[in-house]
Structure 1
Amino acid sequence: MTDTEGVDPAAETESLAAWLTARTDAELAELLRLRPDLAVPPPAHLAVLAARAEQRASVLRAADELTVLELTVIGILSQEGGRERGVPRAALTAAVAGRAPVRSVDKALKALRDRALVWGAKVLRVTPAAQDAVTWRVDAPRDALTAAEIESALAELSDTERRLLTTLATSSPIGRTRDAAPGTDPERPVQRLLARRLLNWIDEQTVELPYQVGQALRGETVSDPAALTPPPIRATKLKVADVNAAAGGEVLELVRHCEDLIAALGAQPAATLKAGGLGVRETKRLAKAVGVDEARLGLLAEVLAAADLIGRGTPDPLPAADTGDDYWAPTVAVDSWQTTTPAQRWHVLAQAWLDLPRRPWVVGMRDEHGKPIAALSEEVRATGAPRDRRFVLGLLAELGTGQGATASEVAATVAWRRPRWSARFGADAVRHTLAEAATLGLVGRGALSSPGRSLLHDAPAESAVAEMAASLPAPIDYVLLQADLTVVAPGPLTPELQEQIALVADLESAGAATTYRIGESSVRRALDAGLSASELHTLFATRSRTPVPQSLTYLIDDVARRHGRLRAGVAASFVRCEDPALLAEVLASPVAEPLALRALAPTVAISQAPLAEVLDQLRTAGFVPAGEDSSGAIVDLRPRGSRVMRRRARPAPRMPAVPTAEQLETLVRQLRAGQRAASATRGDGVRSDGSRASGAATVALLQLAARVHRSVSIGYVDAQGVATERIVDPVSVGGGQLDAFDPAAGAVRRFTLHRITSVNLVD
């Protein structure tokens, strides 16, 4: 875009409403797409749309999506008088000369015009409320300290100096003090801070906290707002196969830990706190059972709850020491999830995390009262978390396939692209988000993985699952038996073999090569589940790539020889044994009394206790019974764990919905029709009584009254729909609001412009 010098600002004095009227239908549709809050409820005509577009809340919401350059353009235009008289395009070019390419400035202006924050061509105007979106001085000194220099200087501060800076960082950066005057003792705190350049001198009574120093004190990413070009990312080129392999390895660990947490909660549901969430004691217990630290335990719990695999309620069966409270336990959905492939299980977890309106990484941190934040508590909720995750992953996606970046580089880019996010999404938040993405397999070695890219771009579930299946190591169908009765799985086992090995051996260490150990108790567990000694011999003979140790053969035969000599059934339950002496020993033991065992024959006794309780107490007493059904076949009575019913999903936070293309077209047609109707009925905007009716005329008359200090009579409809007539003295008009002194109330009141039905000057 080119501009001529010496443009008269009065040459383009059109209002925002007039400028919007001249826009094409496509441009109006783009405005409503970028600022969906303007369309709710649908505006009657373009004057209403313009009034909404200037309201402070809507302007600040739109400004959250702007870059440093775009916000700087707003700041320059506001500073140069763009709110009242307009600024020539050439003046803006001169203000940013040497700091940003002309093409970038043109692109920034287009983004601002698309959002109706700036309008005009050769003469630019900015909506008044937009100035409040710029949180730094656009004319601040450009020789600011670097992040390292700020960190070093802050480390040398005294407590008094740090408190002074913290006060300015958490309130207004402008401070009034007599210690700023020249000649003040150089050892005074303000003078020492000025000497270290941690404060800027304004005048003899005023100092200012530099923007970057405030960022450092608040824990935000330290960035230079004077830099109008995005920070560079030195992308690291990686092999896609290596990225996917790293992501696949993390997914195997994730799925295993989730299964272990589900098993731990099934065996012993965790009582909830009164305020919701997991208590410290339960968190420590579960972390120990799963073999992870408490931070990872918090992430696992949050993701499983989001995927509806664990839930809060009354479990069935109830814990032995039931307190009457709600518990966190697996839901009935777990059983079907556990039968799917690892890639399908990953997709459920990853999709739940991507859409999770919570921040699991805050679990364990201290709240404002100094108490640790509990997993699954309300304090973890953050409605903007899904948007933040997608934005960070989107930055990695922009780098290209196999391109990686460090967390600090991503944080610096986020700070430049979205400077108004810095208060809630600083460097720590970016680092934790990337760490969670790596744990979920969306990121590997600092680059977006192929499954993560599919998930981010909302590809069909089958596509993302196929990408992850290709990234996971191919399952193997063999193990390596060692002489010390350990079983080594040199990779992920097939589901069938995994289930068999987990039944006959105990997990000893997990990783790329998983190690299991076979012992008497694990062999007995397999026999209890219905496997015979010959089946165990066949399992190891056919699935082991190494010779079966003779000690394992002896162990299986020895345990099998003793196993099942004593059998229990349902009478309520019964106990039978081919050896009368062994049954007599059982009847004479202390366990016979609580089980109420009664002999029916030398080889048969019955009990009124349930079969599971009979087996459990006999084993506790040192016997090795086996359960059988009515046909004499061994039955598997292992506990399946507690379950809770799935609860109705909590409704997602209500956010302004982005209209579809068809809805936007319809809305624009309605706006055009409403505008024609308003023009036809209002004519030049002057009623017979001299009052003004159109939106633009209303604003013009109110601005005139404010300048010449005239009272006006306004017709106003409040939020309850009550129409009133009142006389007020306008003070200021802008941002879709009228601030006016109301003599009846004796105070300045604020009126929404589009609710004003008529305006008339009062003599």
Structure 2
Amino acid sequence: MSGTTLADWLRAQDDSALVALLRARPDLATPPPADLTVLATRIGSRASVSRACEDLDTLALSVLEALLVLDADVRPVALEELDRLFDVDVRPTVRLLRDRALVWGDDSGLSTPPATRDAVNPFPCGLGRSVPSLADADLGALGEDERRVLAALAAGPPVGQTKDAAHVVSLANATTPIQKLLARGLLVRRDALTVELPREIGLKMRGERPLGEIKATEPPLTTVQREPSTVDNTGGGEALELCRHVEGLLTLWSDEPPAVLRSGGVGVRELRRVAKELDVDERRAALLVELVVNAGLVADSEGGEPEWVPTTQADSWLTAAPEHRWAAVAQAWLDLPRLPGLIGQRDDRDRLLNPLAPELNRPGAPRDRRRVLDALAALPPGTAVSDVTELAAVLAWRAPRRGGRLRDELVRWTVDEGTSVGVLALGALTAQGRTLLSEGAGPAAKRLGDALPAPVDHVLVQADLTVVAPGRLEPELAEEIALVADVESAGGATVYRVHEGSVRRAFDAGRTAAELHELFRAKSKTPVPQSLTYLIDDTARKHGRLRGGAAGSFLRCDDPVLVAEVVAHPAAERLELRRIAPTVLVSPYPLAEVVDGLRAAGFAPAAEGPDGRVLDLRAAGRRIPGKGRRRVVVPSLPSDEQLGELVRLVRAGDRAAATTGGARVAVPGHLGAGPSATLDLLQRAAREGRGVLVDFVDSHGTAARRVIKPQVVGGGVLEGVDVSYGEVRRFPLHRITSAALVEDDTE
């Protein structure tokens, strides 16, 4: 049975089929192939076949391996031979493989590139190499122990390691099953420690299932239908919680930036500090650390003692609306070229993998993450996956060659991280997550903003000194409440707690007792309890009695007894406080340092300005210039028109090769200075109205190719009609690198 070559088969395809091929296998078009022979060579390369197989499902790979079992990489194979190996109709799958040029030829002679065996599996379907002489081998005389060995190797892989292969023995002298099978010729010795089961024996041992167990259909996926609004609201709550935690991390690192480890990343101690301060587990803390860096909100300060410091972009992020805050962080997660799920595990050298460590870099992570999310996006809104293990099994069936050894773990990590980010909720994709995938961060922010309830302008003050925010607070109110109270629990309703320390913090920031009373009176929908009023008044009486100013710095107090108490305290010596009057102390240290030292000693000083008003001495936090967010550069896919033009140029190159016997005329650098073969060729084409396939370099230095019908050749210029666009173009002759005549059929 004879078959056609791949190049000839490509020539027989119409342009739409070639366009579909280049779209399915984009690596074939870069750089543009000169002709169909070059395209065929590229199709059959091991690297290209391997890339094409990454998108094949389990059944398609099984069919491709079955063709290799039938030696379709050596000789054409009839479709009937392939059909006999399967219990399902493989014709649609063969069409899929043919569309990707992994198989070519008609049903009477299917072929696959020789490189497929190495690219797919050197032992297709778990079967060894062929030994044709064993096709009629009789296995009836084998002992039970020999059959067990053959059955184990027939199940795959067909190779095994054994010391029994070290010496050649006769059947009479054989003592082990391996030696007996080697003596019978039913096993093949590959080296002193390796034996292989020939394909013919493996097929006999498998009996009615020559290819083993074939997973012809996708595994079932158990789903639960939830109310889409419930999913979206839950995801919205997670989005707000994410923004709160990111804000807390930025505040923490503004005051105390952590050092960059010598090996890169953040240390375990710092990770635990973040988890404790934000009241989250270490896994979520690690994810937050990765996100703020990838979003450009934090960066390595570099220099002699580098630290992880918030950037100026963090200030813009902090002033943005919650939905825009979320969209920026969610997009950073979607594009994150790293695997946060590896944090806490150990590498090959048994070293702990820390957040931001370079070992977490995985350029393919965004693609794998989107693959999981796209599978969920294909489900109707509100449809939740009950078991992540089932989702992993489905994705493994759809693309078993993607993801590597972490393939199933990637699915679980993506679902867990997506839920933490608010892209997923209750096992389903949220509306804002769906928009993020399809349209980007801007529309996703708007979608989340529409889904979130309107900000509330009031709180509920309880008798136990808790303040309940029954929803998302207006920004100004949220800032005031956060100043005078600490978050106790977050969620749909945030609970704050007011205590002496939080009230003192508000006083330190310049608020007065009257302003705090008015805040709670005006914004609380419940009566303000007396306990809160007393707390504010009692704290106000103690706050600011001791007042400091910048002299180096000074302290003044109307109560000489309190001044004497301060001077007698050990902190006074450390701060070098000196009494200059019965009610005045001075220190050479800055006011902020003196005030902080006295507060740590148990006093409650307040800082005052020249007008006597209380100053807010809280540090604004360190900032470094922003370095921009790490962006994933996704190459734009060519349009069908662009691919169609490429196909026409490839066909033109094919015709030129046929016309000139595969030769091209190169243009010398001094073209135009005198007669040349190329100039003659261009002038001949102009006289005869022939088309010319021209390779040239444009004004940007980019190599390109066009089919031109020359009209004028001379004066250092080629002028002619561009066949693809039907317009006249001019080419400086010194930019033309080669030219070849083509047949008249240039459509």
Matches within 5 A, 1:479-494: 479-494=459-474
Q: How many residue pairs end up in the alignment?
A: 610
Specify the SS of the correspondent of 1:337: helix
Equivalent in the alignment of 1:698: none
Distance across 2 between alignment mates of 1:385 and 1:398: 20
Give 1:127 deviation, angstroms: 1.1
Contact conserved, 1:276 with 1:377, CA < 8 A, in 2?
yes
Equivalent in the alignment of 1:570: 550
Distance across 2 between alignment mates of 1:88 and 1:172: 27
Equivalent in the alignment of 1:290: 278
Distance across 2 between alignment mates of 1:224 and 1:259: 55
Specify the SS of the correspondent of 1:395: helix
Cα gap change, 1:683/1:466 in structure 2, threshold over 3 Å: closer, same or farther?
A: closer
Give 1:572 deviation, angstroms: 3.9
Equivalent in the alignment of 1:647: 627
Give 1:325 deviation, angstroms: 2.5
Give 1:333 deviation, angstroms: 1.4
Q: Is 1:259 aligned with 2:247?
A: yes
Matches within 5 A, 1:508-587: 508-579=488-559, 582-583=562-563, 586=566
Stretches of structure 1 lacking an aligned partner (at least 5 in a row): 1-8, 142-163, 192-201, 210-222, 316-323, 686-763
Cα gap change, 1:242/1:190 in structure 2, threshold over 3 Å: closer, same or farther?
A: farther
Cα gap change, 1:224/1:569 in structure 2, threshold over 3 Å: closer, same or farther?
A: farther
Cα gap change, 1:60/1:253 in structure 2, threshold over 3 Å: closer, same or farther?
A: same
Equivalent in the alignment of 2:715: none
Give 1:425 deviation, angstroms: 3.9
Equivalent in the alignment of 1:419: 400
Equivalent in the alignment of 1:214: none
Distance across 2 between alignment mates of 1:245 and 1:570: 51
Distance across 1 between alignment mates of 2:355 and 2:573: 45
Contact conserved, 1:178 with 1:204, CA < 8 A, in 2?
no
Cα gap change, 1:233/1:652 in structure 2, threshold over 3 Å: closer, same or farther?
A: closer
Amino acid at match of 1:420: R
Stretches of structure 2 lacking an aligned partner (at least 5 in a row): 128-148, 180-185, 190-194, 199-210, 665-747
Deviates more, 1:406-415 or 1:257-266: 257-266
Equivalent in the alignment of 1:368: 348
- Describe the superposition over 1:642-675 as per-residue Cα deviations: whole angstroms up to 9, x where unpaired: 333323666758x876434454344323322322
Equivalent in the alignment of 1:667: 646
Match of 1:504 among 484, 491, 513: 484
Amino acid at match of 1:679: A
Deviates more, 1:666-675 or 1:439-448: 666-675
Specify the SS of the correspondent of 2:286: helix
Cα gap change, 1:422/1:628 in structure 2, threshold over 3 Å: closer, same or farther?
A: closer
Matches within 5 A, 1:184-223: none
Distance across 1 between alignment mates of 2:42 and 2:391: 35
Contact conserved, 1:479 with 1:545, CA < 8 A, in 2?
yes
Specify the SS of the correspondent of 1:124: coil
Give 1:275 deviation, angstroms: 0.9
- Describe the superposition over 1:483-538 as per-residue Cα deviations: whole angstroms up to 9, x where unpaired: 23222334333322221111111223334443322222211110111111111111
Q: Is 1:281 aligned with 2:266?
A: no
Equivalent in the alignment of 1:435: 416
Equivalent in the alignment of 1:76: 66
Contact conserved, 1:71 with 1:133, CA < 8 A, in 2?
no
Match of 1:246 among 234, 242, 245: 234
Match of 1:44 among 30, 34, 49: 34
Equivalent in the alignment of 1:715: none
Cα gap change, 1:666/1:283 in structure 2, threshold over 3 Å: closer, same or farther?
A: same
Contact conserved, 1:247 with 1:471, CA < 8 A, in 2?
no
Amino acid at match of 2:410: A
Equivalent in the alignment of 1:125: 111
Give 1:578 deviation, angstroms: 4.4
Give 1:444 deviation, angstroms: 1.6
Distance across 2 between alignment mates of 1:374 and 1:224: 43
Specify the SS of the correspondent of 1:612: helix
Aligned-CA RMSD value: 3.6
Deviates more, 1:116-125 or 1:132-141: 132-141
Contact conserved, 1:63 with 1:130, CA < 8 A, in 2?
no
Matches within 5 A, 1:309-324: 309-313=297-301, 324=304
Cα gap change, 1:435/1:225 in structure 2, threshold over 3 Å: closer, same or farther?
A: farther
Equivalent in the alignment of 2:15: 25
Give 1:95 deviation, angstroms: 3.2
Match of 1:349 among 322, 329, 337: 329
Distance across 2 between alignment mates of 1:355 and 1:93: 43
Specify the SS of the correspondent of 2:539: helix
Contact conserved, 1:68 with 1:225, CA < 8 A, in 2?
no
Pair member with larger Rg? 2
- Describe the superposition over 1:539-583 as per-residue Cα deviations: whole angstroms up to 9, x where unpaired: 111222322221221221122123223322233434344456655
Specify the SS of the correspondent of 1:119: coil
Specify the SS of the correspondent of 2:320: coil
Match of 1:679 among 653, 658, 670: 658
Contact conserved, 1:314 with 1:644, CA < 8 A, in 2?
no
Specify the SS of the correspondent of 1:87: coil
Which has the bigger relative contact order, CA under 8 A and spacing at least 6? 1
Cα gap change, 1:14/1:439 in structure 2, threshold over 3 Å: closer, same or farther?
A: same
Distance across 2 between alignment mates of 1:684 and 1:652: 42
Matches within 5 A, 1:52-71: 52-71=42-61
Cα gap change, 1:190/1:267 in structure 2, threshold over 3 Å: closer, same or farther?
A: farther
Give 1:386 deviation, angstroms: 0.7
Normalising by structure 1, we get a TM-score of 0.73
Amino acid at match of 1:435: D
Contact conserved, 2:126 with 2:158, CA < 8 A, in 1?
no
Distance across 2 between alignment mates of 1:401 and 1:628: 58
Aligned-residue identity in percent = 48
Cα gap change, 1:483/1:189 in structure 2, threshold over 3 Å: closer, same or farther?
A: farther
Specify the SS of the correspondent of 1:424: helix
Q: Is 1:397 aligned with 2:383?
A: no
Match of 1:110 among 91, 95, 103: 95
